[in-house]
Structure 1
Amino acid sequence: MTASVSEIFDPSAWTNAPGFEELTDVTYHHDLTGQIAR
């Protein structure tokens, strides 16, 4: 498995979700509008 990011991913539209800083195998993000979590 490679650690690649989609070329259409816009990191400025996302922020790390509080409370999930200790995750090591996945990341958890919220979009800045508050409508999507991934």
Structure 2
Amino acid sequence: MLAVQLYITRKDNLIKIVYTFYLLLYILYKTYKYIIFGEF
């Protein structure tokens, strides 16, 4: 039971890391587009 809980927690952390990574990529992309094209 404990092993399952640990696995779920680790999976949640992985999802958070991936989500944060994609969010940062999205912000960088928006900033890049704004600098190059002057639009959002």
Normalised-by-shorter TM-score class: under 0.3
- Length-normalised TM-score, structure 1: 0.19
- Length-normalised TM-score, structure 2: 0.19
| More strand as a share of residues | 1
* Relative contact order, higher structure (CA 8 A, sep 6+): 1
Larger Rg: 2
